[in-house]
Structure 1
Amino acid sequence: MREFSVPPVVTIADTMTLTDAIWDNARVSPETVSFLRRTDASSDDWSPMTAAEFHADVISVARGLIAAGVQAGDRIALMSRTRYEWTLIDYAIWAAGAVTVPIYETSSAEQVSWILSDSGAVAAFVETNAHTLLVTGLRDDLPDLREVWQIAAGGVDQVRAAGERIDAGQVEERRRRARADDIATIIYTSGTTGRPKGCALTHRNLLAEVLNAVAAFDHLFKGETRTLLFLPLAHAFARLLQLAVVTSRGTIAHSPDPKNLLPDLAAIKPTFLLSVPRVFEKVYTGAKTKAEAGGRGAIFARAEATAIEYSEALDNGGPGLLLRARHALFDRLVYGKLRAAMGGKCTDAVSGGAPLGARLAHFFRGVGVLVLEGYGLTETSPAVAANVPSAIRIGSVGRPLPGVTIRIADDGEIQILGDVVFGAYWNNPDATREVLDSDGWFSTGDLGELDDDGYLTITGRKKEIIVTAGGKNVAPAVLEDRLRAHQLISQSVLVGDRQPFIAALITIDEEAWPGWLAANGRDADSTVAALAGDPALRAEIQKAVDEANKAVSSAEAIKVFRILGRDFTEATGELTPSLKVKRNVVHKTYADDIAAIYTK
């Protein structure tokens, strides 16, 4: 059993809570711009909000919650896209001594009903009229739910107005009574399998995460730190960044609509970003497709190869004179335009939630944007390991963050110990006992390796291991990650459990599809479903399969692939809100396709 530990930089006192940062910022640096807010939905103008103004707004909403009868420890649901009000409500709930229960704004009625019922939420903030109709339609089965406030219909203003009769001293009294070991939030896992479990995280859990992470990533939070949040704040990963930027007195802007992401990046000019690998893949694919459509495909291909070679050289003694010259040329022709699309000032990004892949990491570092890959789970607040500028090993997820101990069990499972580890699933002691032992070690369900320097590499998930009819254990992640590196492939899912060989289900990237049609002389209106058997298309995907197979033995290699007629989406049920593939749904939905592979 291999183990690696990094001591904490910051320890959490029993009286500390997440709202301390709001009060400290207002006292120490009241004029610091904490947020940039769009003046109205149709405007490209952004107005600043200072630390003092945000502090006052938090108190105002917290007073309204107290006026509504919210007690310390009560659960308040929050169902909305990423926007300023999400962050405001989150902190106001904590200031009132209550517990935030995030709900993805795309959740189904069944999911919303379960989360509200299981958490015992006494009130809910929702964003849209559709959300209001959904929640009010469930109220007969939710006896604890007393209030529903709609953000888009002035619900936050209603709460503020109700709080005017409450003395601000009551908010301060709630804050003084709160403790680090009080529950701050219950995050329901998006659930790639089964019913979501409520992960109860305390103020201590999140403070241990945030304060130690800020210390580890100190280069991100020095000087004028500015970021644009566009991932769902219901996801623990995005929530961590929110907390870290507020704590470090940086500036946050919110971008709730993916259609506005590029203009929002141009307007905000973030110094760093947080994203999931799928977004980085789309940035890369979009740039490549655009270059090929404009007749500059060959230039992009050489620029891509140079960026990767340059990045790899940084780990092997540094680039030589000719490589530096070639890199400088492509920086003027290609890389500068890519950085400009990200706002022009972004030199760093943090990636998590799924494997990034070494090729993509090298590409972006070569372009001039260092993508720092990390690893964690909701149950670990969430990050437990990460690459940092002073300690990077591309292909790994880095070393343990301060205050975290990681060990690899005899069967290869990654286990975590530290203040970031949650204490229990809400109302679910049986599930808690399955993953937490008496010493506080959390069994992640992920498989990994720790090298002598403490760098962690993820090799798969225990429950996803495929055992072929020949008894070969195959971890899908290695092959799936390599397949997704191809610009034409959006998703890949390996199958073959108890079958004679490994096969792959492949979906085509919708953004890359028009470029492929044009380049191959196919009708522009052709669908993937219509051309799934097209020899040229299959030949292109076969190249990706052949490249992926180089990473594994013959017994683990993909022998057959099947191109599916459409991509996986959250709406059709194959993806979670954090864009992870729900394998059980894919296996069920495409059971006939899988059966056909093995009955030919």
Structure 2
Amino acid sequence: MPEFTVPPVVAEPPVGGLADIVYDHAAEDPERVALARKVDDRWQDVTSAQFRDEVMAIAKGLLAQGVRFNDRVAIMSRTRYEWTLFDFALWSIGAQPVPIYPTSSAEQVCWMLHDAGVSAAVVEHEDHAMTIGSVVDRLPLLRQLWQLDRDCVGELMAAGAHIEDEVVHRHRLAVTPDSPATIIYTSGTTGRPKGCVITHANFIFESDTVVTRWEPVFRAKRDDEVCTLLFLPLAHVFGRMVEVAAIRGRVKLGHQPNLSAAALLPDLAAFKPTFILAVPYIFEKVFHAARRKAEAEGKLGPFDKAVDVAVRYADAAEGRAFGTSSGPSPALRVQHQLFEKLVYSKVREAMGGRIRHAMSGGSAMERRLGLFFAGAGVTIYEGYGLTESTAAATANPPEQTRYGTVGLPIPGTTVHIAEDGEVWLRGGQIFSGYLNNPKATEEVLRDGWLATGDLGALDEDGYLTITGRKKEILVTSGGKSVSPIPLEERVRAHPLVAQCIAVGNDRPYIAALVTLDPEAIDHWLQMRGKRKMSPADLVRDPDLETEIRRAVVAANTIVSQAESIRTFRILAGQFSEEHGLLTPSLKLKRKAIEKAYANEVEALYHA
């Protein structure tokens, strides 16, 4: 069976834990700017010495309040500076943070806190405190609850002021690489969330490998400060890896808690990151916003031409990197230069102006979108990983990015394709198992290999393409097996589409439910001189149906006729996390959606 290994570029850590780097950096270069925090809408620098002092003060406060070595402490918050502070303070005393998505329901919170045996919790605000309060009678081990918006940071610092620094250092030096660093719960697309036990060694191997191998991303030019704005949820393994990699890699780190374009774009403009790490959804949003702006200004024709030139330019540059072409032609280079000032620089300006690199994960990115950004001067390195692999297991290398794939194994990692097409992984970042769940651990860990549940293929150069999930394969009544993900992603590439789910298990053919992007729809109506409609009227609009049909026809070009979407239904609402139809990482809960929309699904087969 196909298998590909990339040799390691970092050694596995012989001693120590994640907190050590905070104290080492402060001793080596106390005045270096390590982070930035937003205070009264202004970004304030935090030096490595200031960060160390705050981490130490929180660590002492935690000890004073009864948190002990190996205790587990939940953190339920959006992405903000204090989360990173608590992570490193807890690691300083050998405790284990347990991240909880801020949108989790009371039942989900109760399950995770009970399963992890959490003894204390940090929450962001009153609503989170009330969520935990509503189930506290079922959590006998929970002794403390601290609230960020009620200055629990100041409260803890004061509580631990009498404790000597040496007490914290004794705890920190007792941490070993194989000590559990955190318990991260899977998003639960197929059942109850499972707690992944991730060690200090897992995080150190993963982050140091990424920083070393992707040096162009994590190292600045002379006199240019390298920095990143973290807006991924810190409750997700990808965001957590970014946090650790930034601290270890001496990258100035800022936090942004709100993923909406209205909040994110002004902070990108003010913070001016040199690179970002995001999910494809963010890059799609940036692209569609730029295209809508061009259309509103009557410049859609030139914008679309600029997109085509960027895609062809990046495609030719990719060919040169792999030795299959001589690169962009002189005529193409002239066209590309023309659009640099008119279009590409403005797209980069919307992301702060200094971004030249980005990393993308969480779900697949369409090849054309990756090529567009590369042609516009922002190279996006797409990767693949799971909570169980401490984020990235594969990623596209800087010198040879193959768009539309998730890249090569990161150094020190082996990718193996099993007989049934399942992707298996082995490396220093693979987790040690599920908490309190030996049966589930045995199902995925096999002689050092992680069986991912994802289906994929390796090309002749070792680049991985993910083709679907084993548990999400649709089997029609005619016996045809269909992976829905490529179809759904192609439909979702249309600017008016927010979400798409393919259905067809035990049915005669594949069909789809489609939801709409409200911002894009408002723009579409305005540009066509149409009045604003109720959702019920909108989904029956023949022009809109024609637009969505185009997206479905485009998706069908990538599959055989037996696998194609034969019919679809446009829905008036969106699949939301609040209604239990999405995981916190925005993955579709297929069974829940099919149950919630059972009548609509039935109608697709009895029209």
- The alpha-carbon deviation at position 13 of structure 1 amounts to 3.0
8 Å CA contact 2:106, 2:134 repeated in 1: no
What's the % identity of the aligned pairs? 50
Pairing of 1:271-286 with structure 2 (within 5 A): 271-286=274-289
Instruction: After superposition, give the CA deviation of every residue in 1:142-193 in whole Å (9 maximum; x if it has no partner).
Output: 1100000000101111111111121111110001111111100000111112
Aligned to 2:393: 384
Letter in 2 for 1:554: Q
2:295 alignment partner, one of 292, 298, 321:
292
1:370 alignment partner, one of 368, 379, 387:
379
Aligned to 1:13: 13
1:592 alignment partner, one of 592, 596, 599:
599
Q: What secondary structure, in the 3-state scheme, does the structure 1 residue paired with 2:397 have?
A: coil
| Mapped pair 1:519 → 2:497 | no
1:412 alignment partner, one of 418, 421, 446:
421
State the distance in 2 between where 1:217 and 1:106 align: 33
- The alpha-carbon deviation at position 306 of structure 1 amounts to 1.4
Q: What secondary structure, in the 3-state scheme, does the structure 2 residue paired with 1:280 have?
A: helix
8 Å CA contact 1:14, 1:181 repeated in 2: no
Aligned to 2:251: 250
1:263 alignment partner, one of 262, 266, 273:
266
Aligned to 2:313: 310
State the distance in 1 between where 2:295 and 2:536 align: 23
Instruction: After superposition, give the CA deviation of every residue in 1:210-247 in whole Å (9 maximum; x if it has no partner).
Output: 11111111111213210001111111001111111110
8 Å CA contact 2:385, 2:392 repeated in 1: yes
8 Å CA contact 1:508, 1:528 repeated in 2: no
Letter in 1 for 2:488: E
- Gapped regions of structure 2 (runs ≥ 5): 320-325
Aligned to 2:474: 466
Aligned to 2:62: 65
8 Å CA contact 2:13, 2:205 repeated in 1: no
Instruction: After superposition, give the CA deviation of every residue in 1:331-358 in whole Å (9 maximum; x if it has no partner).
Output: 2111111100100000111100000110
- The alpha-carbon deviation at position 573 of structure 1 amounts to 2.4
Aligned to 1:145: 142
State the distance in 1 between where 2:454 and 2:161 align: 49
Aligned to 1:582: 589
8 Å CA contact 1:449, 1:457 repeated in 2: yes
| Mapped pair 1:349 → 2:346 | no
8 Å CA contact 1:510, 1:567 repeated in 2: no
- The alpha-carbon deviation at position 136 of structure 1 amounts to 2.1
Aligned to 1:211: 208
Aligned to 2:332: 323
1:105 alignment partner, one of 102, 108, 111:
102
**CA shift in 2, pair 1:231/1:191, >3 Å:** same
State the distance in 2 between where 1:154 and 1:184 align: 25
Number of aligned residue pairs:
595
Pairing of 1:421-500 with structure 2 (within 5 A): 421-437=430-446, 439-500=447-508
Q: What secondary structure, in the 3-state scheme, does the structure 2 residue paired with 1:356 have?
A: coil
1:202 alignment partner, one of 199, 202, 206:
199
State the distance in 1 between where 2:597 and 2:339 align: 43
- The alpha-carbon deviation at position 452 of structure 1 amounts to 2.0
Aligned to 1:229: 230
- The alpha-carbon deviation at position 412 of structure 1 amounts to 0.1
1:545 alignment partner, one of 528, 552, 555:
552
Q: What secondary structure, in the 3-state scheme, does the structure 2 residue paired with 1:171 have?
A: helix
Letter in 1 for 2:95: A
Task: Name whichever of 287-296 and 54-63 sits farther off.
Answer: 287-296
Letter in 2 for 1:417: R
Task: Name whichever of 573-582 and 82-91 sits farther off.
Answer: 573-582
| CA root-mean-square deviation | 1.2
Letter in 1 for 2:213: A
Q: What secondary structure, in the 3-state scheme, does the structure 2 residue paired with 1:149 have?
A: strand
State the distance in 2 between where 1:180 and 1:38 align: 33
Instruction: After superposition, give the CA deviation of every residue in 1:273-323 in whole Å (9 maximum; x if it has no partner).
Output: 011111111111111122212222222211111111111111232111221
Aligned to 2:22: 22
State the distance in 1 between where 2:535 and 2:372 align: 28
8 Å CA contact 2:98, 2:184 repeated in 1: yes
State the distance in 2 between where 1:517 and 1:180 align: 57
State the distance in 2 between where 1:129 and 1:311 align: 49
- The alpha-carbon deviation at position 390 of structure 1 amounts to 1.3
Q: What secondary structure, in the 3-state scheme, does the structure 1 residue paired with 2:549 have?
A: helix
State the distance in 2 between where 1:571 and 1:216 align: 39
2:536 alignment partner, one of 518, 529, 533:
529
State the distance in 2 between where 1:400 and 1:599 align: 46
8 Å CA contact 1:307, 1:327 repeated in 2: yes
Task: Name whichever of 109-118 and 318-327 sits farther off.
Answer: 318-327
- The alpha-carbon deviation at position 520 of structure 1 amounts to 3.1
Pairing of 1:156-167 with structure 2 (within 5 A): 156-167=153-164
TM-score (norm 2): 0.96
Letter in 2 for 1:530: D
Aligned to 1:78: 75
Letter in 2 for 1:291: A
Q: What secondary structure, in the 3-state scheme, does the structure 1 residue paired with 2:552 have?
A: helix
Instruction: After superposition, give the CA deviation of every residue in 1:537-594 in whole Å (9 maximum; x if it has no partner).
Output: 1111111111111111111111111111122222232222222111122111111111
Task: Name whichever of 99-108 and 318-327 sits farther off.
Answer: 318-327
Task: Name whichever of 284-293 and 487-496 sits farther off.
Answer: 284-293
Aligned to 1:240: 241
8 Å CA contact 2:474, 2:505 repeated in 1: yes
Q: What secondary structure, in the 3-state scheme, does the structure 2 residue paired with 1:175 have?
A: helix
Letter in 1 for 2:552: V
Task: Name whichever of 131-140 and 443-452 sits farther off.
Answer: 131-140
Letter in 1 for 2:139: L
Pairing of 1:494-513 with structure 2 (within 5 A): 494-513=502-521
8 Å CA contact 1:200, 1:424 repeated in 2: yes
- Gapped regions of structure 1 (runs ≥ 5): none
Pairing of 1:555-570 with structure 2 (within 5 A): 555-570=562-577
State the distance in 1 between where 2:14 and 2:69 align: 17
